[in-house]
């Protein structure tokens, strides 16, 4: 990397960060479509970077002709909507064919500025990593990548009826892992998965746990929360929060609730199973499947569905619940678990992925091996029906959640950006980068070939 006069550029904290989020906008409501924990991650870290004087520009694909080209999400944070393919009707699996169009939009936006406008690129999810790879070599700045989920991991733990991730994604992830200057993981477990399944370089892999908004998600009155949601004050409330799709396994909660009622029919007078979220991903193929399962299990009188909730509304859901269930087949971390615990609500979670980090088993909640409804019924009852244990776990939940914050996550990211930039400056000669504006023919051909392979697979 070099300055405009061709000399080495000194290492320094970034002034401007380019964030790539191809398939989902940070402006979308989590719990809808493809919006989830990754959206929360991008929003929270971008806002905190801006408060530290770092300008952030987030590039995402426009999904409507009515979206403005640029939106100020917060002071110092811009969201740029780029046209790449039809505005509507494209799922994640359709987007590899639009990567060249999206990359072209990113390049045009950067070309309007003076050389060296962005100091760092942070790509989220493999689609963004493909574009980030090209931009890194075009601009002569380091690429930091967060996978959030990994195809090989998901395919090893598929829910019944859930289709495997396509080979195009596996290939794309392999390429991004090989090219990125830093790989950000949420937990040591995810780091091990990258090393074992993708042959990642351990020296370029950094574990930075996500955080929780400790100003918003706080303990509060369960009685007030239940009143606002129209729930009886003495109800036994089991809650699920998130996208409704096989991967997240909300069906496990319903089957466990049915088992609890089989064991104790009198519980029906007090039980409420609260599901907050909307169909997403492969769940869109049968958007009413969960409601139909509830009917088949005889839960219509205890089952209540809420649409995806914004932050303030979500706090009330967490506070109203006796326990929040996170029965996912795979989670790179599990932000819902942290948010619930920050509200003093214990969590019962599957012992998969990053959930053993997000939940302190036996202290802030319980971990369950597998997805057998009887075992889940045991764990849910042990928390929801035992007031003394629930109160003890609630105290542990708050203490555990307080170990995580978005400020800590952001500080670690900025330190990683600076470290990647310093290493990049040493490793890349000015001749190879061409002042950050041109590529040598061999590198350009390699990058274009990579994008083409992904688009054609």
The ranges assigned to domains in the chain are: 16-211+407-453, 222-402
321 labelled binding-site residue: yes
State whether residue 283 is helix, strand or coil: helix
Q: What is the mean pLDDT of the chain?
A: 89
- Is 29 marked as binding a ligand? yes
> Could you tell me the sign of the dihedral formed by the alpha carbons of 420, 426, 429, 435, in that order?
positive
Tell me whether residue 125 is annotated as binding: yes
User: Which pLDDT does position 282 carry in this prediction?
Assistant: 52
Distance CA 414, CA 103 (A): 24
Tokens of 454: 């992904």
Q: What is the pLDDT of residue 430?
A: 53
215 labeled binding residue: no
Residue 248 marked in a binding site: yes
3-state helix, strand, coil in the chain (%, to 5): 45, 15, 35
pLDDT at 332: 87
Phi first, then psi: give them for residue 164, nearest 5 degrees.
-70, 155
pLDDT the model gives residue 433: 45
The answer to whether the annotation marks 341 as part of a ligand binding site is: no
Given this model, what pLDDT does residue 434 score? 46
Strands 303-306 and 16-20: unpaired
Q: Is 34 annotated as a binding residue?
A: yes
> Could you tell me how far CA 99 lies from the centroid of its own chain?
21
Q: Domain 16-211+407-453: what homologous superfamily?
A: Glycogen Phosphorylase B; (3.40.50.2000)
188 — phi, psi (to 5°)? -65, -30
Phi, psi for residue 451 in degrees, rounded to 5: -65, -40
339 in a labelled binding site: yes
Show the tokens assigned to 336. 């819902």
92 is in an annotated binding site: yes
| 36 among annotated binding-site residues | yes
Tokens describing residue 299: 């839960």
118 is annotated as contributing to ligand binding: no
Q: Tell me whether residue 38 is annotated as binding.
A: yes
Q: Tell me whether strands 70-74 and 77-82 are parallel, antiparallel or unpaired.
A: antiparallel
Phi, psi at 202, each rounded to 5°:
-60, -25
Question: Given this model, what pLDDT does residue 287 score?
Answer: 60
Local structure of residue 244 (DSSP, 8 states): B
> Residue 318, annotated ligand binder?
yes
Note whether 60 and 22 are within 8 A (CB).
yes
On whether 93 is known to bind a ligand per the annotation, the reply is no
Neighbours of 455 (CB within 10 A): 17
Strands 143-146 and 120-124: parallel
Task: List the structure tokens of 249.
Answer: 């396994």
For the domain bounded by 222-402, which CATH number is listed? Answer: 3.40.50.2000
Residues of the chain under the 50 pLDDT cut: 1-10, 283, 285, 431-448, 450-457
What are the structure tokens assigned to 124, written together? 């989220």
For residue 190, the surrounding DSSP H or E stretch is helix 188-198
166 is in an annotated binding site: no
37 is in an annotated binding site: yes
Ligand-binding annotation for 345, yes or no, is yes
């Amino acid at each position: 990397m070099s300055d405009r006069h061709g000399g080495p550029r000194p290492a320094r904290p970034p002034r401007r960060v380019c964030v790539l989020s191809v398939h989902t906008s940070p402006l979308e409501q989590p719990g809808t479509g493809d919006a989830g924990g990754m959206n929360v991650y991008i929003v929270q870290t971008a806002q905190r970077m801006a408060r530290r004087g770092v300008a952030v520009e987030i590039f995402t694909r426009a999904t409507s002709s009515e979206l403005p080209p640029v939106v100020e999400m917060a002071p110092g944070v811009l969201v740029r909507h780029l046209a790449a393919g039809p505005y509507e009707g494209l799922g994640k699996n359709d987007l590899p064919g639009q990567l060249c169009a999206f990359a072209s939009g990113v390049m045009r936006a950067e070309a309007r500025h003076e050389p060296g406008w962005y100091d760092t690129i942070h790509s989220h999810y493999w689609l963004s990593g493909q574009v980030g790879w090209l931009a890194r070599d075009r601009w002569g700045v380091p690429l930091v990548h967060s996978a959030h989920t990994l195809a090989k991991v998901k395919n090893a733990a598929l829910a019944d009826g859930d289709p495997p991730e396509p080979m195009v994604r596996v290939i794309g992830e392999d390429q991004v892992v090989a090219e990125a200057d830093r790989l950000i993981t949420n937990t040591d477990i995810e780091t091990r998965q990258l090393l074992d399944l993708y042959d990642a370089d351990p020296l370029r892999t950094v574990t930075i746990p996500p955080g929780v908004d400790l100003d918003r998600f706080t303990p509060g009155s369960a009685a007030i929360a239940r009143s606002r949601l129209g729930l009886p004050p003495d109800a036994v409330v089991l809650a699920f929060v998130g996208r409704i799709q096989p991967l997240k396994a909300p069906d496990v909660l319903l089957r466990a609730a049915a088992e609890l009622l089989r064991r104790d029919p009198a519980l029906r007078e007090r039980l409420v199973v609260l599901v907050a979220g909307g169909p997403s991903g492969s769940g869109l193929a049968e958007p009413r499947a969960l409601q139909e399962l509830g009917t088949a299990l005889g839960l219509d009188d205890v089952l209540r569905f809420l649409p995806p909730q914004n932050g303030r509304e979500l706090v009330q859901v967490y506070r109203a619940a006796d326990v929040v269930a996170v029965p996912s087949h795979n989670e790179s971390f599990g932000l819902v678990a942290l948010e619930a615990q920050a509200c003093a609500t214990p969590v019962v979670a599957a012992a998969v992925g990053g959930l053993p980090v997000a939940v302190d088993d036996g202290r802030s909640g319980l971990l369950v091996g597998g997805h057998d409804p009887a075992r889940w019924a045991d764990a849910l009852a042990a928390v929801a029906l035992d007031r003394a244990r629930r109160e003890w776990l609630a105290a542990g939940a708050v203490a555990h959640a307080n170990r995580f914050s978005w400020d800590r996550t952001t500080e670690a990211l900025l330190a990683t950006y600076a470290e990647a930039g310093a290493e990049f400056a040493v490793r890349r000669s000015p001749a190879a980068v061409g002042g950050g504006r041109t590529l040598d023919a061999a590198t350009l051909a390699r990058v274009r070939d990579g994008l083409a392979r992904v688009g054609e697979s």
